[in-house]
Chain A
Amino acid sequence: SSELTQDPAVSVALGQTVRITCHGDSLSNYYAGWYQQKPGQAPVLVIYGKNKRPSGIPDRFSGSSSGNTASLTITGAQAEDEADYYCNSRGSSGHHVFGTGTKVTVL
């Protein structure tokens, strides 16, 4: 299966650490991409490859992977990190696939 599953929602206290997970068979073959999406805005890539951050993404965002699970960790969450987060990978026959999304609430 090329599906990617994520927990629907997580919450984190301001300044604390939160980990978002993504599960799927394709993650044993590819490093996931991770995207942040705020209401009414296009997604923004925050992590790709083996824990790489695009220019401008704060270093409190980090990624890891083990077997069929990819994780995005926000260390020292800020109010502006409240958003939806999606993982993605490539499934069968070269198709891309996105995770179900996780809503992160910063308390």
Chain B
Amino acid sequence: SYVLTQPPSVSVAPGQTARITCGGNNIGSKSVHWYQQKPGQAPVVVVYDDSDRPSGIPERFSGSNSGNTATLTISRVEAGDEADYYCQVWDTSSDHLYVFGTGTKVTVL
């Protein structure tokens, strides 16, 4: 089955930029979605189809996808961005269909 690999943790100071990677074989050929999950809450989609933002999501959240790596970038990080982040793809090459990444804990220093 298709595997998505994320770094377990990313630390960033307020006001700086956080970059969360999601590695997968030829992931650039797939659409990648990103979810934010704060403690005790359900996840929320922050970027879909590689780089689109749902209404209500700040422009500080952006995404890119090429080759074997997709990236979620959070600019001007705020304390409220501290959360777990998961990437996700739709993999039609197997029966597993929807695949989530391993998750990245973003800590705001």
* A pairs with B: no
